[in-house]
Amino acid sequence: MKRHRCIWVWVVALGLILSRTPGNWESLAGTANLTRQNIQLPAAVHYPLPPSLARIPPQGEDYFDEVQPVEVGYLLWTEFPITVAIEPPQWDPNQVWQRAAEQAIREWSAYLPLKIVDPSVPANIRLLSQRPATSNNGRARFAETRYELFVDSQGVLRHRCRIVVRPSQAPKFVLAALRHELGHALGIWGHSPWPTDALYFAQVADPPPISQRDVNTLRRVYEQPTRLGQRLPEWTPHG
Ligand SMILES: [Zn+2]
């Protein structure tokens, strides 16, 4: 039986700290070092631009300079559709959280193929409503995104993302957080300096929709090389 060899590398991205004053989304934490685990990584390659992004004419500015490549290159998806599982809170009156999650997925679906899957099966991205496990200086995070790297049964380097957004906020902020964190999970691993972008680094009173600048940035991310989706050079079947 094939097993998944797992390299559990995680990054805490960008959580909003609960506080009395408007908070900034967290800055990026460092990744664990893959080379320390003696894993020889595949070479980085360019993939064709997904048609849903390619058909959008690039116009105006982006904030690509704020996007950080991670240890395996840019954090982009190489197979589509990207599967997303939703795990709403047990107590969710009027399905506020669930609907916000579905809407955030629908909004990003205009730019990349996303597919909602049952939470009982594996997914590329998992949206969770539980309390984020990590805290910053003892204060709870409102939202965060992490990614994990692993090698699948075919020896291919892959990642998956886990987004946690607490349900204890006004619906528009839950939606804004899910939209923002999904942007990270789809590859925008950084923040915009402009408050009119969904990936702005701070929470704003009237959260904006996904902007042209967000889309331009996403497009540039998918034009970059990554080691993800490639087979490890020294991989041999086992199990
Ligand atoms: Zn963020």
pLDDT of residue 24: 46
Confidence of residue 92 (pLDDT cuts 50, 70, 90): confident
Residue pair 225/41 in contact (Cβ under 8 Å)? The answer is no
Residue 38 alpha carbon to ligand 1 centre in Å? 31
Residue 218 alpha carbon to ligand 1 centre in Å? 14
Nearest to 140 by CA among 130, 148, 149, 150: 130
- Continuous segment of H or E residues that includes residue 149: strand 143-151
How do residues 37-69 score in pLDDT, each as one tens digit?
Answer: 667 889 999 999 999 999 988 789 999 999 989
In the predicted structure, residue 94 carries a pLDDT above the cut 90: no
SS3 219: helix
Residue 177 alpha carbon to ligand 1 centre in Å? 8
How do residues 140-164 score in pLDDT, each as one tens digit?
Answer: 568 899 999 988 889 999 999 999 9
pLDDT of residue 20: 32
pLDDT of residue 221: 97
Residue pair 175/207 in contact (Cβ under 8 Å)? The answer is yes
Query: Could you state, in order of their start, the residue ranges of all structural domains in the chain?
Result: 13-27+46-76+187-228, 77-120
How do residues 192-231 score in pLDDT, each as one tens digit?
Answer: 999 999 999 988 999 999 999 999 999 999 999 999 999 9
pLDDT of residue 11: 43
Residue type at 49 in one-letter notation: L
Distance from C-alpha of 136 to C-alpha of 78, rounded to nearest angstrom = 32
| Average of per-residue pLDDT values in the chain | 83
pLDDT of residue 176: 96
Residue 36 alpha carbon to ligand 1 centre in Å? 28
Both tokens of 182, joined, read 């999904």
Residue 113 alpha carbon to ligand 1 centre in Å? 21
Residue 3 alpha carbon to ligand 1 centre in Å? 33
